[in-house]
Structure 1
């Protein structure tokens, strides 16, 4: 150890929390000082365990210092990283976490999933999504305040809010404006959660409520691949004509039905039915039918028959050219139809489809 009095606390952080954490009075809250050192090798060792095999390269020729602490509350952790000397950190795979990167002093910048970002105190933050790489350069003096959220917890919160199940991780836009608009709300709630969890008297009851508010604010106010579902107007109690039309569409979505067919099933004039759908569902009847057909297509791809194909499903449901279908499918569900089909075939134990050879 260097003779400067700095202390290194060894921990086991992979998935189960620190093995030598200080347990707070509130159940479920654990605190640990992971490292406080000027030794680069020690810092690298701990950093790679905190952030899934990440690498750390300090700036050459500058004095280096690192202090890492973590406070855990269930599926959410706050990592406080204070860095001296600057350098570059590389995370080859974010793993099964969502990460909100904030700064209490100094700046960092980099790229994640092909998008650039900059973290500036009280002005800019960054959101990293699971299964993607990240590279960031940090200033000579940087005080990171990072919230790490287990993917399963945030995905479950999304399903509780929307009733929609996720087949893959939510993909957030990386850059987050903390000064203006919805991003400011995310920042305020995140800061409140972080400040509370760092207190010795932190209450698990209060932290549970704040964590729920944080998850909701991230899903509602930060843009991501599933934002369209949350942006949809909240459903109102539908009149009888809308319910009848929906029942007819649900029963005949796989058939080439027309607006006239739906109007006849609803038993009201077309203009009245259109107005009722827009008021209650936010879209006219045929747009609602198209949404149902895409949901049916997703079900067919996720639970495929042996001979199912993307082109076959699109044609059977009248969803147009496979290329245009794929573009709209990705926009709606955050993944390509072929990805859904591949996952569905794997889950059902079916062999992968081999690409057709051109003659």
Structure 2
């Protein structure tokens, strides 16, 4: 099951927090600001009308929040799929996003949410101001997997609209404001990793529980049977020995069941095998290390730390899991 760094390490260490702020009138600069290394965005004006912008981006691990204001009318086009769930919470002005089959209008009463599709271009009509939340897809899939007690991968097909006049919409806006205020310079969240982790999780759970998506019906069903004790013990054992060369037999011995019973438990309650689950944990641990700007280790050192000794197979598995090569994660 996908996990984030706090789960991997069994603690609540403060994630690296960064702040960048920009203002200007150059659309090329705006393109660079809105782009990521793996998902570039191009900005073009309509009728050569002047554009002005003021943006503040605050990042804390798997969740980032931005406060952006724009003047003028322009088109922003995503050139390649992104790796985040993007939520736009407008406070002023209008924007129209491309969406498969229909345009999505974003106004102060209506937020828009997307899974980073490459064709999610947008027409922004200023003056426009919005808060934006960006949540790593692995985090969303991890929490959804925990909620459903089975491994979830790929798209969740979330409905692109959020009603900001509803109780859940108002709560989401409030949480986004808290996150931006708390992560800003001298903000309280910079001194409290537990509060920060709880707030980031609250934002993600609020979206999963209140926005319509492909797993909403499954979440609405009665609570499934609890995961067997031996499966939970096996997962705990994996966390405790995640960087060690443990075998399937050793996991079975640690949980006091046969290998066959252990495999059946993982197939039924985690939709995977024990060793595949262990590799998922290790890949997620590698991903967190590569994204941590404080670490200066090479890719081979990070891979070896988490038990991956064959770099070719590791790179292929990493790309299949996260959609890009490990070397690209270092550039993010």
Q: TM-score, normalised by structure 2?
A: 0.58
Matches within 5 A, 1:140-289: 140-180=126-166, 182-198=168-184, 200-203=186-189, 204-235=193-224
Higher relative contact order (CA 8 A, sep 6+): 2
3-state DSSP of counterpart to 2:103: strand
3-state DSSP of counterpart to 2:204: helix
* Residues 1:46 and 2:9 aligned together: no
Shift of 1:118: 1.8
3-state DSSP of counterpart to 1:55: strand
Shift in CA distance, 60/178, structure 1 to aligned 2, threshold 3 Å:
same
* Residues 1:80 and 2:92 aligned together: no
3-state DSSP of counterpart to 1:44: helix
Shift of 1:210: 0.9
CA-based RMSD: 3.1
**Aligned twin of 1:28:** 16
3-state DSSP of counterpart to 1:69: strand
Shift in CA distance, 57/158, structure 1 to aligned 2, threshold 3 Å:
same
Runs of 4+ off more than 6 Å? none
Matches within 5 A, 1:32-111: 32-33=20-21, 35-49=22-36, 52-111=39-98
State the number of aligned residues: 219
3-state DSSP of counterpart to 1:149: strand
Shift of 1:199: 5.4
**Aligned twin of 2:115:** 129
3-state DSSP of counterpart to 1:157: helix
Tell me which structure has the larger Cα radius of gyration: 1
Q: Is the contact made by 2:65 and 2:179 (CA closer than 8 Å) also made in structure 1? A: no
Q: Mark the runs of 5 or more structure 2 residues left unpaired by the alignment.
A: 1-13, 227-267, 277-319, 321-332
Q: Is the contact made by 1:51 and 1:91 (CA closer than 8 Å) also made in structure 2? A: no
Q: TM-score, normalised by structure 1?
A: 0.54
